[in-house]
């Protein structure tokens, strides 16, 4: 109840806060689906095709209900669409499986491609070219109605999904260029460490961010305060990850 009062948003109540579908619900479903795909040894190109089809058809599925309470609650996780018109999130179903599973599927395809390649530089170059082409296709599709295709981000439509997938492909290639052409440095080492501890950092960040709402509210801090909070959260997350790594080395925490 306290967090519902803190948000101070009329359309929300304690039940709504409890049942908002965030990324962790989606992640659990996605992990199960990916495990099934691996167990069935499904061809990687079929996985890629599934990712594309999912990103294209998702808008036509959002909000479909069968008027069966338990079934409809499950379907909310798959393709729910319930606008709640509040200041920090536009939809109760923030990460429906359709279309968000597109990204794990794309990641599975990319991972399998890199793993089975004898020339990673050539593969990443192909990723970069493909990324640019997909971004251009997205711009062409979205140009006439940008608001429709990018929607509320959580429910991005075809053009928005293509843009994000194209960006991922190009970003991988860009990072490969940077790593191949710049010497190893302290910044790279720090980023590698954060990458390995990303799950630890993710959980720590969200815990301290949510707790801080009681003190700083939502969208109510000045720019300077917001920047300061970001820096503080980053430092706390970093050193918490360092502590976890130390405990893992000592055997107190399982890897």
- Asked if 95 and 167 sit in the same domain, the reply is no
Instruction: Give the residue among 50, 103, 56, 54 at the shortest CA–CA distance from 78.
Output: 54
- Asked if 59 and 16 sit in the same domain, the reply is yes
- Asked if 58 and 29 sit in the same domain, the reply is yes
Q: What is the pLDDT of residue 251?
A: 80
Q: What is the pLDDT of residue 88?
A: 63
Rounded to an integer, what distance in angstroms lies between the CA atom of residue 139 and that of residue 135?
A: 6
Which residue range(s) make up the domain with 199?
185-255
Q: Left (φ > 0), alpha (ψ -120 to 50) or beta: where does 214 sit?
A: alpha
Spatial neighbors of 24 by CB under 8 A, at least 6 apart, are none
- End residue of a domain, out of 182, 211, 229: 182
Q: What is the pLDDT of residue 170?
A: 97
- End residue of a domain, out of 155, 182, 209: 182
Along the 255 residues of the chain, how does pLDDT read in single tens digits?
444 444 444 455 666 666 677 788 898 999 999 999 999 999 999 999 999 999 999 999 998 989 888 898 889 889 988 877 666 667 788 899 999 999 999 999 999 999 998 888 899 999 999 999 999 999 999 999 999 999 888 899 999 999 999 999 999 999 999 999 999 899 999 999 999 899 889 888 888 888 888 788 777 888 999 999 999 999 999 999 999 888 888 887 776
Q: What is the pLDDT of residue 59?
A: 94
- Asked if 106 and 146 sit in the same domain, the reply is no
Q: What is the pLDDT of residue 2?
A: 45
- Asked if 127 and 207 sit in the same domain, the reply is no
Rounded to an integer, what distance in angstroms lies between the CA atom of residue 75 and that of residue 71?
A: 6
Q: Distance of alpha carbon 6 from its chain centroid, rounded?
A: 26
Q: What is the pLDDT of residue 17?
A: 64
- Asked if 17 and 104 sit in the same domain, the reply is yes
Q: What is the pLDDT of residue 6?
A: 46
Q: Which residues of 157-186 are buried (b: 16+ CB within 10 A; e: fewer)?
A: bbbbbbbbbbbbbbebbeebeeeeeeeeee
Rounded to an integer, what distance in angstroms lies between the CA atom of residue 130 and that of residue 166?
A: 7
pTM of the model: 0.82
What number of other Cβ atoms are within 10 A of residue 220's Cβ?
A: 11
- Asked if 5 and 50 sit in the same domain, the reply is yes
Q: How many CA atoms lie within 13 A of 40 on its CB side?
A: 11
- Asked if 107 and 145 sit in the same domain, the reply is no
- Asked if 28 and 100 sit in the same domain, the reply is yes
- Asked if 156 and 87 sit in the same domain, the reply is no
Q: What is the pLDDT of residue 87?
A: 60
Q: How many structural domains compose the chain?
A: 3
- Asked if 12 and 41 sit in the same domain, the reply is yes
- Asked if 132 and 109 sit in the same domain, the reply is no
């Amino acid at each position: 109840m306290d967090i519902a009062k803190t948000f101070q948003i009329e359309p929300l109540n304690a039940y709504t806060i409890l049942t908002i579908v965030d990324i962790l619900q989606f992640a659990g479903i996605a992990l199960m689906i990916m495990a099934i795909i691996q167990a069935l040894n499904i061809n990687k190109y079929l996985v890629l095709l599934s990712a594309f089809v999912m990103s294209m058809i998702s808008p036509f599925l959002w909000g479909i209900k069968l008027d069966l309470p338990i079934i409809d609650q499950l379907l909310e996780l798959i393709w729910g669409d319930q606008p709640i018109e509040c200041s920090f999130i536009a939809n109760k179903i923030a990460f429906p499986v359709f279309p968000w599973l597109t990204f794990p599927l794309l990641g599975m395809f990319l991972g399998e491609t890199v793993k089975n390649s004898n020339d990673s530089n050539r593969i990443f170059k192909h990723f970069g070219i493909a990324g640019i082409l997909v971004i251009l296709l997205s711009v062409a599709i979205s140009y006439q109605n940008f608001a429709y295709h990018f929607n509320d981000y959580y429910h991005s439509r075809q053009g928005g999904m293509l843009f994000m997938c194209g960006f991922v492909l190009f970003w991988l290639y860009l990072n490969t260029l940077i790593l191949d052409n710049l010497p190893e440095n302290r910044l790279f080492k720090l980023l590698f460490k954060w990458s390995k501890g990303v799950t630890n950092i993710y959980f720590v960040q969200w815990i301290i961010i949510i707790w801080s709402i009681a003190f700083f509210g939502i969208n109510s801090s000045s720019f300077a305060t917001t920047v300061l909070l970001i820096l503080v959260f980053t430092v706390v997350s970093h050193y918490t990850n360092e502590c976890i790594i130390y405990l893992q080395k000592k055997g107190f925490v399982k890897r």
